[in-house]
């Protein structure tokens, strides 16, 4: 490069060429920022999930409109026939409808995972030096907000319709906490499905194929004693049945410790088995 060219370059840059000392100062090695810990990384991805809800509020329809519709429909459709009174049936039904609505919402975790894979976002996540399960845990943390909101919507509607929990406020909080905790564990199933399926529609199809038998073949709508013996065998081992019994027990003020053990054991198994499978697929997909 000629001297004239160098001069014109300096003039184009405002007449100031960076000195060697300035360049060395800018490029000087410094301490690398510390790697974020597991909790920090997970909370960051959880906040990302919350921001997605903020920018697309229509995502909350499934935890607002759907629970309201389910509660009203089953209360007034079956209340008179099964219990002779909609108000009396509501005392039995509302905890079960709460479980049904929240458990069905868990499938959207897998849909979100699959959507991010299709957009190529996961390739960026895997290149970031952080705790590897953080994106998955973040999805679930964000969805826990959705589960809590669905529970609050159903409870508020139930109180308006005449639901009166004998367990009081403490029993209601304990029941909702048990439901949200189990749903967190159950959502690991759908993160695995989201990694396996090619499209979000396939994720929803598989989810419905599993969720409908689990929720309807349980004690949500009717007592298992009214069912045929061969069906009771499935209902008795159905994890949703035990979850409903725990939530219903907390809200009624008479929870069965054995049912709590069942639900805790199911939640631990779901996290260990499907959480491990999810991370194995995530690291190799």
Q: What is the pLDDT of residues 111-122, one digit of tens each?
A: 888 888 888 887
What is the reported pLDDT for 145? 86
* Structure tokens that stand for 79 in this block: 């209340």
* Confidence check: pLDDT of 142 > 60: yes
What is the reported pLDDT for 5? 45
Cβ atoms of 165 and 251 closer than 8 Å = yes
- Helix or strand or coil: residue 140? helix
What is the reported pLDDT for 4? 47
Q: What is the pLDDT of residues 146-205, one digit of tens each?
A: 899 889 999 999 999 989 999 999 999 999 999 999 999 999 999 999 999 988 899 999
Q: Report the C-alpha gap between 176 and 230 in whole angstroms.
A: 31
- With vertex at residue 267, the alpha carbon angle to CA 266 and CA 271, rounded to the nearest 5 degrees, is 115
Residue with tokens 């909609």, as numbered in its chain = 86
CA end-to-end distance (rounded Å), the chain: 50
Provide DSSP, 40-108.
HHHHHHHHHHHHHHHH-GGGGGGGTHHHHHHHHHHHHHHHHHHHS-HHHHHHHHHHHHHHHHHHHHTHH
Report the 10 Å Cβ neighbour count for 220: 23
Cβ atoms of 274 and 195 closer than 8 Å = no
Q: What is the pLDDT of residues 104-113, one digit of tens each?
A: 989 888 888 8
Q: Report the C-alpha gap between 167 and 59 in whole angstroms.
A: 32
**What is the average pLDDT across 10-26?**
60
Q: Residue 271 phi/psi, 5° resolution?
A: -70, -45
Q: What is the reported pTM?
A: 0.80
What is the reported pLDDT for 123? 77
What is the reported pLDDT for 1? 45
Q: Report the C-alpha gap between 188 and 183 in whole angstroms.
A: 9
- Helix or strand or coil: residue 105? helix
Least confident of 11-15, 44-48, 73-77, 246-250: 11-15
Q: What is the pLDDT of residues 39-91, one digit of tens each?
A: 888 888 888 888 877 776 666 777 778 888 888 888 888 777 776 778 888 89
């Amino acid at each position: 490069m000629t001297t004239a060219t160098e001069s014109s370059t300096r003039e184009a840059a405002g007449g100031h060429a960076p000195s060697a000392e300035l360049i060395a100062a800018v490029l000087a090695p410094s301490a690398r920022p510390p790697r974020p810990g597991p909790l920090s990384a997970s909370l960051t991805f959880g906040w990302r999930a919350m921001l997605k809800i903020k920018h697309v509020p229509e995502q909350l329809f499934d935890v607002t409109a759907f629970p309201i519709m389910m509660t009203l429909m089953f209360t007034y459709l079956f209340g008179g026939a099964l219990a002779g009174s909609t108000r009396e049936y509501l005392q039995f039904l509302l905890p079960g409808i709460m479980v049904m609505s929240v458990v069905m919402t868990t499938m959207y975790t897998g849909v979100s995972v699959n959507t991010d894979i299709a957009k190529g976002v996961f390739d960026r996540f895997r290149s970031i030096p952080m705790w590897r399960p953080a994106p998955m845990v973040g999805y679930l943390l964000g969805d826990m907000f959705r589960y809590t909101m669905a529970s609050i919507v159903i409870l508020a509607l139930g109180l308006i319709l005449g639901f009166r929990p004998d367990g009081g406020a403490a029993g209601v909080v304990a029941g909702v906490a048990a439901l949200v905790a189990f749903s967190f564990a159950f959502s690991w199933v759908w993160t695995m499905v989201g990694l396996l399926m090619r499209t979000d529609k396939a994720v929803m199809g598989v989810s419905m194929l599993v969720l409908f038998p689990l929720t309807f073949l349980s004690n949500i709508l009717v007592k298992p004693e009214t069912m045929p013996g061969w069906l009771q065998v499935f209902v008795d081992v159905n994890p949703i049945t035990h979850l409903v019994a725990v939530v219903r027990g907390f809200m009624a003020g008479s929870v069965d410790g054995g049912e709590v053990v069942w639900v805790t054991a199911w939640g631990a198994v779901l996290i260990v088995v499907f959480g491990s499978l999810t991370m194995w697929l995530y690291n190799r997909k």
